[in-house]
Structure 1
Amino acid sequence: MPSVVALGHLLMDIQLYLADKPDVGEAALVGELRYGGGGSASNFAVAARRLGLASAIITSVGFDGFGRVLLEELMREGVDISRVKIVIGQQTGTSFLLVYPSGDVKVFEYVGASEAVEPKDLSDAAFKGFDHLHITMYRLDTAVHAARLAKKLGLSVSVDPGRIWSARGLDYLRELLAEADYLLLNESEFRALLRGDVGEAFGLGIDMVIVKRGPQGATAYLRSGEIFEAWGFKVEAVDTTGAGDAFDAAFLAALLEGRGVDYALRFANAAGALKTTRKGARSSPTREEVEKFLATRNI
């Protein structure tokens, strides 16, 4: 089976499901409170494992209760945690998420111990035996070092910068993106980072830019000039947290298995859509669930 290693955050998500959307200064009732694992890299690692890939994560947590719970959860999912750094004296990173009735989410993130992995902590051994490295927002020096090590060993590399990295602009990420094969963005990140111009990415050496548009589908722009598009799926969304990570895992899984870009987009759109019908960042679907979903839509 293909194998992937993810670099990024492992966080405890505290999710507040609101009954309505209050304005500033107003109060709102919380219909449900949930705790669970989160952080884009760990969401990706779990999603990839459920799709049948071997997966591992490079990250860090505090020496505390949250950290222990998060590591136990990853082990239950079959994710390799041997590259997780345990930090004494810092709290495990935590995200506070407001989930609105529409399923849209507002995120407040406390990084805490999440970015303690330094370049000196990584060597070739962290990547040997893997096919692909997926990088989400992390400390930039570590991300660049990881990408260079992975490329040297023949791994393909993808980057999903997320909102915060994308908002910092292309110059901030230029050194990292020069090592990437795939760049995965949602529509707002596409505008913020590339100003809607894929040529900026191709100029850095990236082979493919994938733009995720939720229920409107997704588009893959290739350096060759080819463009692939796939329609999205209308579902009853209850929580969009982690949907982009589920998409990333499914898209890259399909490519690593030798599937074409058109199939990879459809497979990823289905995985992302299914994720939004379930609460929690880690509720991504299995391969069987995605294939059944596609079969019912004659795709």
Structure 2
Amino acid sequence: MPPSALPHPRVLVVGDVMTDVIVRPEGPLVIGSDRRAKIGLYPGGSACNQAAWLAYFGIPVAFAGRVGKRDLATQEEALREAGVTPLLAAGEGENTGMLIAIISETGERSFLTDRGANDGLSAADLPFSLLDGLELLHVSGYALFTPGPRAAVMALMAVARARGITVTVDPASVGFLEEVGPSNFLGWTSDATIMFPNAEEAACLAGTSDPAAQIRFLTARYELVAIKRGAEGAEIASKSVRLRAAAPDVAVVDTTGAGDAFLAAFLAARLENMPIDKSLERAVRAGARATTMLGGRPAKG
């Protein structure tokens, strides 16, 4: 599909482009020996998945990121097939990021990540003209964990906020949050209006395992906080409102992309002016549904 066939985006998503290698062992790993497994290659990257889910929910969306040059056409086509306008940069000698996800028997994941070309994202890849006509800029935390991309993304966030464009952020990785320091991340995302941590990320950012204390800490810094709590559902809070929604009971296959589907469903609902409680319910249902399929993006068809 040519770019002109896609509508002008209301949302720009910025973050990593990855190829996901999803591994489902048929039992515990055997150190030093073999274990049969189902292995598949999927287009991935949390931010790319979020953009694909936004398109799935009917929101015109563009995605900006960086890939290896040899993969540019393939990655652009994958985004277009998902209904996303691709705004990809590419460099010679760079490899597209790659992630290995090892899925346990319960559907939980462990990741091995090679960020590749994502670490080369620069201001030249994110001109401020990308913000023209937008209602919302969404940033994956992965784009903030290394200095070069961080400077470019923070500049884009600041200009977006100055223009009155809503800025939202997903922390993306508790491991990387701990590596860079939660106080640093809070400073880097001060232009955000909505924060979307999961339970572990909320605990890391707030420095406490107490859910109520997490809410108090985070709503003092962001207008709205949506905390994804896995099988326990999710909650939305501001300084004046705190709402919770239970997760539907589903047969979990793969939790990859569940948080991305939740985030996209919530933002899509808010862009459609749905009440916040209905937006939360829709988001929780979407996140649960995403766990019933392999991979992090909506199923085709």
TM-score norm. by structure 1 comes to: 0.88
Offset at residue 165 of structure 1 (A): 4.1
Aligned to 2:76: 71
Matched, 1:80 2:97: no
Runs of 4+ aligned residues of structure 1 deviating over 6 Å after TM superposition are none
User: Is residue 14 of structure 1 aligned with residue 38 of structure 2?
Assistant: no
Structure 2 residue aligned with 1:281: 296
Does 1:267 pair with 2:279? no
Q: CA deviation at 1:78?
A: 1.8
CA shift for structure 1 position 285:
8.8
Distance 1:10 1:36 in 2: 11
Task: Determine the structure 2 residue equivalent to 1:46.
Answer: 52
- SS of alignment partner, residue 37 of structure 2: strand
Cα gap change, 1:64 to 1:120, in 2 (>3 Å):
closer
Stretches of structure 2 that go unaligned for 5 or more consecutive residues are: 1-6, 144-148, 209-213
Q: Percent identity?
A: 27
Deviation at 1:71, TM superposition (A): 2.0
- The Cα shift of 1:30 comes to 3.5
- Superposition map of 1:51-62 within 5 A: 51-62=57-68
The alpha carbon displacement at 1:28 in A equals 4.9
Code of the residue aligned with 1:32 in structure 2: it is K
Alpha-carbon separation, structure 1, partners of 2:34 and 2:84? 37
Q: Is the 8 A contact 2:223 2:238 kept in 1?
A: yes
- What is the CA–CA distance in structure 1 between the aligned matches of 2:166 and 2:152, rounded to whole Å? 17
CA distance in 2, matches of 1:285, 1:120: 33
Change (3 A) 1:87 1:283: same
Quote the residue 1:182 is aligned against: 194
Displacement of 1:22 after TM fit? 2.3
Match of 1:64, SS state, is helix
Separation in structure 1 between the aligned mates of residue 92 and residue 166 of structure 2, nearest angstrom: 33
Q: 2:226 aligns with which of 210, 232, 238?
A: 210
Kindly provide the CA deviation profile for residues 179-200 of structure 1, in whole angstroms up to 9, marking residues without a partner as x: 0000001111110111243333
2:10 maps to a residue whose letter is S
Q: Match for residue 121 of structure 2?
A: 117
Alpha-carbon distance in structure 2 between the residues aligned to 1:214 and 1:88:
40
Q: 1:200 aligns with which of 217, 225, 236?
A: 217
Cα deviations by residue, 1:223-265 (Å, 9 ceiling, x for unpaired):
2x21011111110011111111111000111111111111111
Distance 1:187 1:104 in 2: 14
Task: Measure the CA separation in 2 of the matches of 1:165 and 1:178.
Answer: 18
Matched, 1:161 2:171: yes
Give 1:156 shift: 0.6
Partner residue, 2:146 = none
Give 3-state SS (helix, strand or coil) of 1:248's partner.
helix
Q: Which letter maps to 1:260?
A: P
Residue 43 of structure 1 contacts residue 282 of structure 1 at CA under 8 Å; is this kept in 2? yes
SS of residue paired to 1:29: coil
Instruction: Name the SS of the counterpart of 1:234 in structure 2.
Output: coil
Match status 1:221 vs 2:232: no
Is 1:233 the equivalent of 2:248?
Answer: yes
CA distance in 1, matches of 2:205, 2:197: 9
Further displaced range: 146-155 or 251-260: 146-155
Could you say what secondary structure the match of 1:258 adopts?
A: coil
- The structural deviation recorded for 1:202 is 3.4
Cα distance between partner residues in 2 of 1:100 and 1:68? 33
Aligned partners of 1:165 and 1:144: how far apart in 2?
A: 17
Partner of 2:167: helix, strand, or coil? strand
Residue 3 of structure 2 corresponds to none
Moved more, 172-181 or 4-13: 172-181
Tell me, in whole angstroms, the C-alpha distance in 2 between the residues paired with 1:152 and 1:28.
55
Matches of 1:264 and 1:133 in 2, distance apart?
A: 18
Identify the match of residue 99 of structure 2 among 87, 95, 100.
95
Amino acid at match of 1:68: A
Q: For 1:22, what is the secondary structure of its paired residue?
A: coil
Per the TM alignment, residue 27 of structure 1 is displaced from its structure 2 partner at its CA by 4.0
Q: CA RMSD in A?
A: 1.9
SS, match of residue 50 in structure 2: helix
Question: Which residue of structure 2 aligns with residue 257 of structure 1?
Answer: 272
The aligned length equals 281
After superposition, the C-alpha distances for 1:74-119 in whole angstroms (9 at most, x for unaligned) are: 11112111x2101111111111111122111111110010132213
* CA distance in structure 2 between the aligned counterparts of 1:58 and 1:194, rounded to whole angstroms: 29
Cα separation, 1, equivalents of 2:172 and 2:258: 12
Question: Within 2, Cα distance between the matches of 1:41 and 1:61?
Answer: 13
Match 2:153 to one of 143, 156, 159? 143
Letter in 2 for 1:175: G
**What SS is found at the alignment partner of 1:162?**
coil
What SS does structure 1 have at the residue aligned with 2:169? strand
